[in-house]
Structure 1
Amino acid sequence: MKPHLTWGILGAAGFARKTMAPAIHAARRTHLKSVATRDPARAIPFADLVPGLKVERSYEAILDDPEIDAVYIPLPNALHTEWSAKAARAGKHVLCEKPIGLSLADIDHLIATREATSRLIAEAWMPAHHPQWHRTRALLAEGAIGTLRSVSGAFTYALADASNIRLSAELGGGGLRDVGVYPIGGFRLATGLEPVPSHVDLVQEGGVDTSAWVAATAGEVRFNFHVSMRAARYQVMMFHGTEGTLTLPAPFNPGTYAEARIVIARDGADVQVIRFPGVDQYVAQVEAVAAHVLDGVAFACPLEFSRGTQAVLDAIFAQAAA
């Protein structure tokens, strides 16, 4: 068996250039071989990062390369399902940016493709690979804050560029697809519960949601979250139990937004802070792909998990339309 995975990137998106290419380059047991872009100038930062990097003029060239084991896909949302399936059928393992699909049907198609090709197809939902979330789930399960009663979350940022693809309905844009997947997925990952939306308030611009306020229930637990592309940069997840609260001040972008930590406040007790210094969740995500492919280790964010989050999104959009 090969000692490492050789990667290609389909597209020279800014996030690939700034975050994921460096993560692939830094991860253990991985090698970044090529990037595909129709504009060679956009490949220059990638080549500066990885001397000898091969620049392809088409995505198909990477899929046809027998040395490429895995591909990272940072294309616009509307292209994620199509190119994930194409890559898997070409024999490549796939790590695709979120949302990996725009509907349950998309993800069901990818699950069927994964089974038919025996290739990993996974969404790049990076919190699943950060230890603060695994610790949060364990703490909640052991009753660190008593019986869980409610969860609240937020993820907002101010999008100034009117030409950004996140504002394109044709390309699958919108705030819920961009950042709504984080509080929804965080709730599901930490609690193991499936929220059902009960109230939805969306602000729409040009056919996409730019802000959303959602109330949901999961059994006896209430879940409320707010996401926006039109508000100041902010993120938090807070779990409220009968005996205290557990807060993640940087749940989704630890390191770049704020320090990764869990803050536990119990009635009559000193506040407990658990820190996670030096963790790069993007590197951990790439290394998790290698561990799955090379060692058979279960992947922390399989398509079934992504499907559960998509089911919540579909329900939110259906309720908003009604």
Structure 2
Amino acid sequence: MKTVKWGILGASNFALNRMGPAIHAAHGAELVAVASSSAEKVAEFQAFAPAARHAKTYEALLSDPGIDAVYVPLPNHLHVEWTLKALEAGKHVLTEKPIALHAPEIDALIAARDRSGLVAAEAYMIVHHPQWQRAREWIAAGEIGTLRHVDAQFSFYLDDSGNIRNRPETGGGSLRDIGVYTFGAARFATGAEPVELSSRVIREKGVEIWAQVAATMQGPLGRYTYNSMTTMRAYNRQVVTFQGTTGMIRLEGGPFNANVHDMAEIELHKGMNRTLIERFPTVNQYQVQVEAFGRSVREGVPFAWTLENAKGTQAMIDWAYREAVDVTI
């Protein structure tokens, strides 16, 4: 099996703590370089991946012939630019979410991907986790009857004004940071898209820090109602429920940050309060994402989350911002 040799464009904390170790641990992958102006930051990656060399600039990493694929964990507003540059340099590229700040920007990425024949995708890791694959299977199989409603909530507390999530110039906001999960999870599990949508938001210093979105979704399983709440100013919570006519699927604890926030598990509730619970204590969704990307690079296996999928979620985020009514609490 050909090993995919990876470079990381930037020494972010998330790359250091999640994706760098996942690339290092993944079968068929090798972390060979990290681009940063700081040798000290690169040394932190070399502590678990000693062979990873230091690229002093992003351009140097992209010009390295020994690198097959690039992971881009840069601030949101830089994602499109450096994804395009990676493709132009002949590298496969996996870019953090949201891959763009507006849905039409993704058209240029799709065109560059198709023109180059390379693999380019958004790092939407949850679709590779078996708990989300199971949710989609159960819904499609009619395990909860006809789907009527989906409710998704994701919150955490972060009031650091210097953090890129709280800065308008770096594409901050709860919908961009975690709305990609609440919106994308429903779209992935049901295949539905919004046909009606309304939203209410709270802003601080030009950044949306709380959003409540209500929608009517239409897909192959028919119509259902949808509600999402995201905020960066409340205690940690992650929960998604799919409510049907004869049952309910519930993911709570770790539906988005599986086995980091809490245990990854999925519940199937049916008649007479009978509950089936499946737990996944050992699955690292970042690692399985890297391995899936490697299969796409080596064998042409379709990646579970395409740029077109990412564009659909970004279009929903764009719609929520257009319809936003500012409120105070």
TM-score range, shorter chain: over 0.9
**1:21–1:46 Cα contact (<8 Å) kept:** yes
**1:197–1:315 Cα contact (<8 Å) kept:** no
2:279 corresponds to? 275
C-alpha RMSD of matched pairs (Å): 1.3
2:256 corresponds to? 252
2:87 corresponds to? 88
Give the superposition deviation at 1:54.
Answer: 0.6
SS class of match (2:169): coil
- Where does the alignment leave 5 or more consecutive residues of structure 1 unmatched? none
- Is it true that 1:287 corresponds to 2:286 in the alignment? no
- Output the CA distance in 2 between the equivalents of 1:273 and 1:175: 30
SS class of match (2:16): helix
Question: What amino acid does structure 2 have at the position aligned with 1:165?
Answer: I
SS class of match (1:9): strand
SS class of match (1:310): helix
- Output the CA distance in 2 between the equivalents of 1:98 and 1:197: 24
Q: Identity of aligned pairs, percent?
A: 46
2:136 corresponds to? 137
- Is it true that 1:309 corresponds to 2:308 in the alignment? no
Question: What amino acid does structure 2 have at the position aligned with 1:227?
Answer: T
**Matched residue pairs, number?**
321
**1:197–1:316 Cα contact (<8 Å) kept:** no
- Output the CA distance in 2 between the equivalents of 1:148 and 1:110: 34
2:35 corresponds to? 36
Give the superposition deviation at 1:269.
Answer: 4.5
For residues 246-268 of structure 1, the C-alpha deviation after alignment (integer angstroms, 9 at most, x for no partner) is: 10112111101121111111121
- Output the CA distance in 2 between the equivalents of 1:256 and 1:160: 21
**1:43–1:55 Cα contact (<8 Å) kept:** yes
- Output the CA distance in 2 between the equivalents of 1:246 and 1:320: 29
- Output the CA distance in 1 between the equivalents of 2:195 and 2:80: 25
Q: Which moved more, 1:253-262 or 1:24-33?
A: 253-262
2:178 corresponds to? 179
Question: What amino acid does structure 1 have at the position aligned with 2:228?
Answer: F
Question: What amino acid does structure 1 have at the position aligned with 2:128?
Answer: H
- Is it true that 1:48 corresponds to 2:47 in the alignment? yes
For residues 168-227 of structure 1, the C-alpha deviation after alignment (integer angstroms, 9 at most, x for no partner) is: 111111110000000100000111100245221101112211010000001430000100
1:224 corresponds to? 227
**1:128–1:189 Cα contact (<8 Å) kept:** yes
- Output the CA distance in 2 between the equivalents of 1:40 and 1:98: 26
Question: What amino acid does structure 2 have at the position aligned with 1:251?
Answer: P
Question: What amino acid does structure 2 have at the position aligned with 1:132?
Answer: Q
- Output the CA distance in 2 between the equivalents of 1:196 and 1:228: 24
TM-score of the pair, normalised by structure 1: 0.97
Question: What amino acid does structure 2 have at the position aligned with 1:311?
Answer: A
Question: What amino acid does structure 1 have at the position aligned with 2:294?
Answer: A
SS class of match (1:66): coil
**2:6–2:69 Cα contact (<8 Å) kept:** yes
TM-score of the pair, normalised by structure 2: 0.95
**1:155–1:179 Cα contact (<8 Å) kept:** yes
User: CA 1:167/1:269 → structure 2, altered by over 3 Å: closer, same or farther?
Assistant: closer
**2:159–2:166 Cα contact (<8 Å) kept:** no
- Is it true that 1:159 corresponds to 2:162 in the alignment? no
- Is it true that 1:236 corresponds to 2:220 in the alignment? no
- Output the CA distance in 2 between the equivalents of 1:295 and 1:199: 42
**2:200–2:325 Cα contact (<8 Å) kept:** no
- Output the CA distance in 2 between the equivalents of 1:64 and 1:124: 22
- Output the CA distance in 2 between the equivalents of 1:188 and 1:85: 26
**1:237–1:247 Cα contact (<8 Å) kept:** yes
SS class of match (1:49): coil
- Output the CA distance in 1 between the equivalents of 2:246 and 2:158: 38
The 5 A counterparts of 1:69-108 are 69-108=68-107
Give the superposition deviation at 1:72.
Answer: 0.4
Moved over 4 A (4+): none
**2:293–2:303 Cα contact (<8 Å) kept:** yes
1:264 corresponds to? 268
For residues 297-319 of structure 1, the C-alpha deviation after alignment (integer angstroms, 9 at most, x for no partner) is: 11001101001101101111111
**2:16–2:45 Cα contact (<8 Å) kept:** yes
SS class of match (1:155): strand
- Output the CA distance in 1 between the equivalents of 2:197 and 2:216: 7
- Output the CA distance in 2 between the equivalents of 1:276 and 1:87: 34
